[in-house]
């Protein structure tokens, strides 16, 4: 086999390998759940370890909306506290990872590696 006949196969394998990465980035950016219009939605989630998270869930809509702060493990969900939902949630709280991903993409486009040094 010549190297020119391997190029389409390598390109196909690269695309297949990038699909899980793209799905992971979509999930982490918050856009995957942006279309939720029910009476309950996830406001934010913070991973404390591979099996433990703190999740903020909004119940209700408008002036009656409440936020539940929950501790989530594989075996249990614990109610930590309940808060009145603010009238407007700052964009930085809605998708805290989106700024980080945008910064990494900007560095990559400018030719800098993740450590800030130029790649050869």
pLDDT tens digits for range 83-99? 888 777 666 565 555 55
pLDDT at 101: 64
- Residue-level pLDDT, tens digit, the chain, 120 residues: 677 788 888 999 999 999 999 888 887 776 665 555 568 888 888 888 889 999 988 888 777 888 899 999 999 999 999 988 877 766 656 555 555 666 777 777 887 655 544 444
Tokens, residue 97: 């990872």
- Token output for 50: 């591979």
- pLDDT at 118 (0 to 100): 47
Torsion region of 60: left, alpha or beta (phi above 0 gives left; psi -120 to 50 gives alpha): left
The 3-state DSSP class for residue 72 equals strand
The confidence score (pLDDT) of residue 114 equals 54
Place of tokens 């009238």: 87
What is the pLDDT at residue 119? 45
Strands (E) located in 50-119: 52-59, 66-72, 77-84
How would you classify the pairing of strands 66-72 and 77-84?
Answer: antiparallel
**pLDDT at res. 71:** 92
**Angle, CA of 85, 97 and 113, to the nearest 5°:** 165
């Amino acid at each position: 086999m010549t190297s020119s006949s391997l190029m389409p196969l390598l390109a196909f394998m690269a695309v297949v390998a990038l699909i899980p990465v793209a799905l992971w980035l979509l999930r982490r950016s918050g856009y995957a759940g942006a279309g939720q219009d029910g009476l309950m939605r996830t406001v934010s989630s913070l991973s404390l370890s591979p099996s433990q998270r703190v999740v903020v869930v909004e119940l209700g809509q408008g002036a009656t909306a409440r936020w539940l702060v929950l501790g989530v493990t594989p075996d249990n969900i614990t109610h930590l506290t309940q808060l009145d939902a603010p009238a407007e949630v700052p964009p930085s709280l809605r998708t805290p990872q989106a700024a980080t991903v945008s910064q990494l993409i900007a560095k990559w486009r400018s030719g800098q590696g993740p450590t800030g040094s130029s790649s050869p």
